[in-house]
Amino acid sequence: MPARTNPLTEALSVSIPKIFDQVQNTTANHQKNIVALYKIHIDASAFTESVHNGRAIKLTGERNFEDAFIDMVCRVLVIKKGASQAERVVKFVGTYTKYLNEKAVETKKEDEADGDDDDTTASRFVARLLKFLVNGFVAKDKIVRYRCVRILAEMVTHLGEIDEDVYMMLRAALIERVHDKETNVRVQAVVALSKLCGSEDASDVNEDEPTAVDVLLDTLACDPAAEVRRAALLNIPLAPHTLSVMLARTRDTDTVMRKLVYSQVLENNCLSTDHASMGAAHPRGLSISQRELIIRNGLGDREPAVRAAAGSLLGTWVDVARGPTKAEDDQAIQKDVIALLKFLDLHESTIAEDALLSIFATRVDIFEHLEFKDDYWRELTPERAFLARVFVEHCIATKDDAKLDACLPVVTHLAFQIQNAYNAYLDDTDTAAAREHEVSEEQLAQEEDARLDQEFIIGELLRLAVSLDYADEIGRRKMFQLVRDMISQEVLPDSLVSRCLDILRTLSPNERDLIRVVVEVVHELRDRDAADEEAEAEKERAEVATSFGETPSAGPSSTQGGLRKPLREAKPLSPEEQVRADALDLRCLSLCIGMLERVNGTFEENSTLEGILGELIIPSVKRKELTLREKGLVCLGLCCLIARRMALNSFQLFLSQIQAAPEVLKIRVLQIVFDILMVHEGDFLGRSNTGGERIIEFLLHILSVEDADKVQALMCMGLAKLVLSGIVADERVLKSLVVAYLSPDTADNQELRQCLSYFFPVFCYSSSVNQRQMMQITMPLFEQLARATRELEDDQEMVSPAQIIGMFVDWTDPQKAFDVQGQKIDNGIHIDLAADLTKALFKDDMEKEEKKVLCQVLGRLHLPDTADDDKIRTIKLLIHNLGTRRPLRDTAAKNALAKFDAALSKKYADKLVDFSEEEYRQLAALKDLFEFLDDIIPVDEGEEIELPKTRARKRRSRSMTTDTTTSGAEEGSPATSAASSSKPRSKGKGKQPKRRRVSGSDDDSDDHFLDNDATPAPTRTLPKRAA
């Protein structure tokens, strides 16, 4: 007997809406209504119809229930995001799906004897609801799409067992919605897809099709909306293959995103859910590079919230470094910190020190429980020595005298500790040298690592010694003698030389004593080498004198302040002897560099340096070996910083080294040159010095012809410092820096771009004078750069003219200028810039797109409340004559210009009352303006001037920087002549050096309309006109 359908439909149409009406008001009644709805669902599923003469059954009741349920869901789909009633209904749908599948699993377990029939009431309901929601994914209404994906995201974790076809349909639909144009839809699609990807089998995916995880990782890295990236970050399962993409988000542009990486992803996954084992983000499971990336980006973030999250993560790392469970006492905390330090690279960077200082600041309990008793110093490891040194420096920085007195070792004890460690290092070095050919490569590598650890321990102890209290005279003498003996050893590693010199500077009463000690040591090292060749007896005596722990005897000439002069004519050295002599000179030069870096007095006050200068530094500068010459030039440059006369005499030597030197040496020499210019500014770049012009031309020439990225970056950095400090005010330098910043040839030079992107805002906003200087070069540079954008080659990229002029407008905005005491902010800069922009619109050779850009940027200019009357009239007259003499052809440009004209007229209505060109002609202040306007021939309406074709063929244009620097070079200055002759231009087809392609006319032609020069010859004949 067929089931009755009409009464059931009527009952469902009453009971189901009643339940949905209740659940939309509060979540407290959801569980009760879920049970009631499940009972209705089961009762409805009992109603069936027999079809095909009883051979099949039609599930009429289930169909009616699904129709009624979907009808209720449809009423939610049109509700905008944010309505709490709709969110409660969505949550109810997801919870009911979960309850329905749980009941289906229980029923299946009870009826196991019935077979493996997966077609149940729950599966049929879920399949139909899914298909309905997926159909809504492609709806035109964004609200409907959002609600469909939102409901699916709530259901997806409770779907139970679904057919393979339904799963693939659902997966494809979600991947498509991940790329929806609406942010809200993409967020919910990411949430749903991340829950679905856990059941995905990579073998079921086609080779040319991305997996769901790949799609989510691509979304995490590339989606423009921070909300979408945030949803992907919080929902993608953490695994080794997804961790690297997540860690890249520590440099995300969104602050909340960066904070979530540390607080939600990394910190919450250090341990497993039950805290019984390591989690996916445990520091032991990360590589050293990943740990350092986390620390560097977190502690170096500009936002305090991100730095705090990174500090909290480091505190958690300390707690879990040795495992999930441990004893809580002082020794255990110390072991935890040391265990964390073993995860970091202590040798190569300061990241471990930054991490340790962050732990001391954020976890006061760890800092308070650290103690360094006598037994701590007996068995030192790199981690233990590092911890002690950083702890002492932190106590000094925070002025925690109580903790400092408790942890600092006695000076004499530390001196003996350093001595024992260094002697052990020497013994191991000698043993390794004797057994070099007797052991395997693996064992050699292990011994080398052990020696590096010993060297690191000695270095940390020496850094710790700088912070000691040397009131104890016995300890002070012991430490002084120890360090002096160490720098007298040829085998002392170069990394420890600077550490020893720091201690000597601390122990020396003044700079003169420090210089005297270092000169004596250099003298002894070189005398000892000469004595080895003269006699065996002297060699034996020298070996005795250099035994560690004893004071070497000074030669007779040590008190003279210079180096020993040869007693007899030097004989030619063998190759082995020459290598040893060069190594000794390198050590002496390293000592001199370290000493000069720690000297602030003048060269004349320390006459002891003259001997080293003449017998060590100058001969090293003349050597052909690159390493020796580099160190010799560095020493000479440091001497020049404290000797004005020497700098004046040696500066030409440094300039001559720049052109022919290899890149490494060129970088060193340029650093020296810029340091000398900064220290002795008045002697080289002062207004009364005529050589300053030649120096600037030479530096700009080097910048224009240089190919190496590092050298370009260093040149721009040095010139930017000179300009920012006010030492150089040459307009050509500023032009060259702007050109280098925007040139397509520097697109891959990130160091240069980053330096200049910081320099220009600081330079312009620091002073209105600087802003006016930038305003004056705006239009010539814009025309030059805009022309370069049209001449780009296929593989080059450059910012558009709109972005270029936008940068200039932003840099010259008087509202962003800092209020400097004693200097008034110039609010009329943009008024003058508006006049320059409007004058440029009269040019015939300017492209239509460039004119449109200039018109559109006029609306972004700042119009002050008060302005000079003549300047306002000038702009108004220019706009008025532009419409009659050079009317714009582009509609967008005309609209933008009209909008600016209206804003100008409204802002300064009182100044433009009774606007009359005839009356303005009588004003003497506007005489130059009317001469400029009268020289412009009006263009008839509908008549267009055909411009000469400038892109008939591709060619390699001249350097942008050359355009801005040749004005002075054409006069034939000696510096420029030397620079050009040293690197001649090749006229053949050989490989040309890389240059900035942005080119243009000479500086004189940039303002040709101001000089009343003729415009480029048009195709029609213009009538002659008197000037």
2 with 49: CB under 8 angstroms? yes
Q: Which residues of 974-983 are buried (b: 16+ CB within 10 A; e: fewer)?
A: ebbeebeeee
Q: Check pLDDT > 90 for residue 92.
A: yes
Q: What is the pLDDT of residue 472?
A: 86
- What lies within 8 Å, CB to CB, of 180 at 6+ separation is 145, 186, 189
Q: How far is CA 1005 from CA 618, 929, 956, 963, 1013, in A?
A: 48, 19, 20, 11, 8
Q: In which element (H, E) is residue 176 found?
A: helix 164-177
User: Is residue 1003 very low, low, confident or very high in pLDDT (cuts 50, 70, 90)?
Assistant: very low
Q: What is the pLDDT of residue 687?
A: 67
Spatial CA neighbour of 386 closest among 453, 446, 466: 453
740 with 752: CB under 8 angstroms? yes
Arithmetic mean of pLDDT, 372-401: 91
Q: Token pair for residue 332?
A: 């255990």
Question: What's the CA gap between 781 and 462, in Å, rounded?
Answer: 54
User: Is residue 540 very low, low, confident or very high in pLDDT (cuts 50, 70, 90)?
Assistant: very low
584-638 pLDDT, tens digit each: 999 999 999 999 999 888 888 888 888 889 889 999 999 888 999 999 999 999 9
Category of 182 on φ-ψ map: left (φ > 0), alpha (ψ -120 to 50) or beta: beta
On the CB side of 1016, CA atoms within 13 Å amount to 14
Q: What is the pLDDT of residue 193?
A: 92
Q: What is the pLDDT of residue 824?
A: 85
Q: Check pLDDT > 80 for residue 553.
A: no
Q: Check pLDDT > 90 for residue 987.
A: no
Question: What's the CA gap between 774 and 771, in Å, rounded?
Answer: 5
323-372 pLDDT, tens digit each: 655 555 667 888 899 999 999 999 888 899 999 999 999 999 999 888 88
Q: Token pair for residue 902?
A: 């209206």
Cβ atoms within 10 Å of 128's Cβ, excluding its own = 17
Q: Check pLDDT > 70 for residue 178.
A: yes
Question: What's the CA gap between 144 and 76, in Å, rounded?
Answer: 9
522 with 592: CB under 8 angstroms? yes
117-176 pLDDT, tens digit each: 567 888 889 889 999 999 999 999 999 999 999 999 998 888 877 788 888 888 899 999
Spatial CA neighbour of 730 closest among 703, 758, 765: 703
Q: What is the pLDDT of residue 239?
A: 87
User: Is residue 257 very low, low, confident or very high in pLDDT (cuts 50, 70, 90)?
Assistant: very high
- What lies within 8 Å, CB to CB, of 877 at 6+ separation is 917, 920, 926, 929, 933
Q: How far is CA 899 from CA 446, 516, 861, 917, 963, in A?
A: 76, 75, 12, 21, 36
pTM > 0.85: yes or no:
no
Q: What is the pLDDT of residue 691?
A: 79
Q: Return the percent helix, strand and coil in the chain, to nearest 5.
A: 65, 0, 30
Cβ atoms within 10 Å of 106's Cβ, excluding its own = 10
Arithmetic mean of pLDDT, 885-900: 88
Higher-confidence residue of 272 and 258: namely: 258
40 with 65: CB under 8 angstroms? yes
Q: Token pair for residue 749?
A: 């030079």
Q: How far is CA 880 from CA 74, 835, 1007, 1010, 1011, in A?
A: 61, 12, 21, 19, 22
Question: What's the CA gap between 943 and 1020, in Å, rounded?
Answer: 11
Q: What is the pLDDT of residue 999?
A: 41
User: Picking from 520-529, 714-723, 944-953, which range would have the lowest pLDDT averaged per residue?
Assistant: 944-953
Residue with tokens 């700088």: 466
Q: What is the pLDDT of residue 873?
A: 84
User: Picking from 123-137, 561-575, 734-748, 892-906, which range would have the lowest pLDDT averaged per residue?
Assistant: 561-575
- What lies within 8 Å, CB to CB, of 492 at 6+ separation is 486, 500
Give DSSP secondary structure letters for 233-267: HHHSPP-HHHHHHHHHGGG-S-HHHHHHIIIIIIG
Q: What is the pLDDT of residue 976?
A: 37
Q: What is the pLDDT of residue 571?
A: 59
Arithmetic mean of pLDDT, 78-102: 91
The strand pairing partners of 57, in sequence order, are 50
- Say if strands 49-51 and 56-58 run parallel, antiparallel, or are unpaired: antiparallel
Q: What is the pLDDT of residue 116?
A: 52
Q: Token pair for residue 587?
A: 């050590």
624-643 pLDDT, tens digit each: 889 999 999 999 999 999 99
Q: Check pLDDT > 80 for residue 502.
A: yes
Q: Check pLDDT > 60 for residue 570.
A: no
Q: Check pLDDT > 60 for residue 68.
A: yes
Q: What is the pLDDT of residue 855?
A: 92
148 with 189: CB under 8 angstroms? no
Q: Check pLDDT > 60 for residue 569.
A: no
Q: Check pLDDT > 50 for residue 948.
A: no
Q: Token pair for residue 638?
A: 């440091």
User: Is residue 1025 very low, low, confident or very high in pLDDT (cuts 50, 70, 90)?
Assistant: very low
Arithmetic mean of pLDDT, 728-736: 92
Q: Check pLDDT > 90 for residue 996.
A: no
Q: Check pLDDT > 80 for residue 551.
A: no
Cβ atoms within 10 Å of 588's Cβ, excluding its own = 24
Q: What is the pLDDT of residue 940?
A: 55
Mean pLDDT of the chain: 82
Q: How far is CA 694 from CA 679, 698, 727, 965, in A?
A: 19, 6, 15, 11
**Stated length of the chain:** 1027
- What lies within 8 Å, CB to CB, of 886 at 6+ separation is 841, 842, 844, 936, 939
User: Is residue 752 very low, low, confident or very high in pLDDT (cuts 50, 70, 90)?
Assistant: very high
Cβ atoms within 10 Å of 609's Cβ, excluding its own = 25
Cβ atoms within 10 Å of 941's Cβ, excluding its own = 7
Q: What is the pLDDT of residue 532?
A: 56
Arithmetic mean of pLDDT, 28-48: 90
Question: What's the CA gap between 698 and 979, in Å, rounded?
Answer: 7
391-405 pLDDT, tens digit each: 999 999 999 888 888
Q: What is the pLDDT of residue 550?
A: 43
Cβ atoms within 10 Å of 537's Cβ, excluding its own = 9
The strand pairing partners of 278, in sequence order, are 271
Spatial CA neighbour of 665 closest among 613, 716, 628: 628
852 with 802: CB under 8 angstroms? no
| Helix locations, 508-535, DSSP H | 511-534
Q: How far is CA 996 from CA 526, 660, 744, in A?
A: 49, 21, 7
Q: Check pLDDT > 50 for residue 322.
A: yes
What are the contacts of 92-95 at 24+ separation with CB within 8 A? 92/20, 92/23, 92/30, 92/33, 92/34, 93/151, 93/154, 93/155, 94/151, 94/154, 94/155, 94/158, 95/30, 95/34
Q: Check pLDDT > 60 for residue 213.
A: yes
On the CB side of 328, CA atoms within 13 Å amount to 3
Spatial CA neighbour of 830 closest among 738, 763, 904: 904
User: Is residue 263 very low, low, confident or very high in pLDDT (cuts 50, 70, 90)?
Assistant: very high
User: Picking from 193-207, 502-516, 547-561, 898-912, which range would have the lowest pLDDT averaged per residue?
Assistant: 547-561
470 with 508: CB under 8 angstroms? no
Rounded to the nearest 5°, which phi and psi values hold at 236? -70, 130
Q: Check pLDDT > 50 for residue 1008.
A: no
Beta strands per DSSP E along 414-466: none
Q: Check pLDDT > 90 for residue 539.
A: no
User: Is residue 568 very low, low, confident or very high in pLDDT (cuts 50, 70, 90)?
Assistant: very low
Please state, for a pLDDT cut of 70, what percent of the chain lies above it. Answer: 82
